Amino acid sequence: MNTILTINSKELRLNRFPPSNDKNLQAWDSSDEYVINYLVEQQLQPSKILIINDTFGTLACALSEHELYWQTDSRVAQCAVEQNLSDNFLYPSIEYLDSLTTPSVTPDVVLLKLPKSNALLAQQLQQINQVMGPNTQVIGFAKAKDVHTSGLKLFEKYIGTTTTSLAKKKSRLIFSTPTAQKLTNDDQQLIEWPLENTDYTIANHAGVFANSKLDIGARLMLENLPSNLDDGYAIDLGCGNGVLGLMLADKNPQATIRFTDESFMAIASAKLNCDNAFGSTERFEFDWHDCLSDYDYDQADLIICNPPFHQLKTVTDHIAWQMFNDAYRTLKHGGKLRIVGNRHLGYHIKLQRIFDNCTTIASNSKFVILEATKA
């Protein structure tokens, strides 16, 4: 459902992606409005703007007259900005950057929406440190409740002298002046930990879910992975660091495994982990993608999934619905979808509705493993 934002002398029709019929959800928040209005009020006329973590493309649309360098970890966010620019007939000079690519230019202004973790914030600030000039204006923005001293210290460490604005509509801006020493390299920081009951070590980039330990839902799933795939084709949907697909490959050495996730850092982590575990990624495929949209019909023998039940900070089930519907389309007849989820989410109801069957494979006090077969 399109909603209208009037800002920077523009009337923008903006939509979340994937589209939602929930009238309470919109494609921007008050911190987006705050930072855009600040640029207008200060009459700043930057040539090159680096925009980081623009969740649905609101900033790209509002600032489309500038030369934009637009960086995200999220394939869904990139789909959103492309759709919203098209819907508003905007065709800016824009270069899309994934989260592990450092921009090749020195921006006049950097607009950084605070990410969900300080680990990811630190990595993004290190990238900014690599490209900022002495006159680059670095502006962070977020809901006021998400601006913490720990994050401000990271701005001080990697950028320089840092102050904050007054709060407006429960949002706040962060101003950081480039005075910090330039870093000598831009090596990406990896978090590593041993995978219990195996000889494997799992490596994660900063933005990946459960990047410091095995989450308890995945632990139950690992105990209930099939070992009868032979030379079949399987997909680890929403793969994260790839631990489920990796162990599926361990149990099925002849199978081809495809890893897909909307997080670029997740795909990079999964690829690294498979290479480290098996010395090669020859029988694996890796895809930075929005669920299984545009995948061919009837191609997979098995799909495994640990679906999210939120988008950003919004609790929602529409991503799980998309995953399950995409899985049904992508599976061969007789193919199986095996998922893990919190018991209270009621995924069995969705699977029953889509597949007309659902079997409980295993459960504990918090989680359940469910399997549905495409007839």
Give the helix/strand (H/E) hosting 249. helix 243-251
Give domain status of residue 185, yes or no.
no
Same domain (yes/no): 112, 247: no
Residues 6+ apart with CB under 8 A from 8: 36, 37, 39, 40, 62, 63
Q: How far apart are CA 222 and CA 240, in angstroms?
A: 14
Give domain status of residue 183, yes or no.
no
Same domain (yes/no): 255, 121: no
Residue 25 sits in a domain whose CATH number is 3.40.50.150
Residue of 286, 99, 347, 110 lying closest to 205 (CA atoms): 99
Same domain (yes/no): 238, 267: yes
Residue that is last in its domain, among 124, 145, 176: 176
Same domain (yes/no): 156, 203: no
* Chain CA centroid to CA 306, Å: 15
Residue that is last in its domain, among 151, 176, 201: 176
Same domain (yes/no): 194, 162: no
pLDDT per residue, tens digit, the chain (375 aa), is: 558 999 988 899 999 987 777 777 889 999 999 999 999 999 888 899 999 999 999 999 999 999 999 999 999 999 999 999 999 999 999 999 999 999 999 999 999 999 989 999 999 999 999 999 999 999 999 999 999 999 999 999 999 999 999 999 999 999 999 999 988 765 567 889 999 999 999 999 987 887 778 888 999 999 999 999 999 999 999 999 999 999 999 999 999 999 999 999 999 999 999 999 999 888 999 999 989 988 888 999 999 999 876 444 544 577 888 999 999 999 999 999 999 998 888 899 999 999 999 999 999 999 999 999 999
Same domain (yes/no): 200, 105: no
The whole-model pTM stands at: 0.92
Same domain (yes/no): 109, 223: no
Same domain (yes/no): 357, 270: yes
Give domain status of residue 182, yes or no.
no
Residue that is last in its domain, among 176, 211, 226: 176
Number of domains composing the chain: 2
Same domain (yes/no): 281, 360: yes
The domain in which residue 56 lies consists of: 3-176
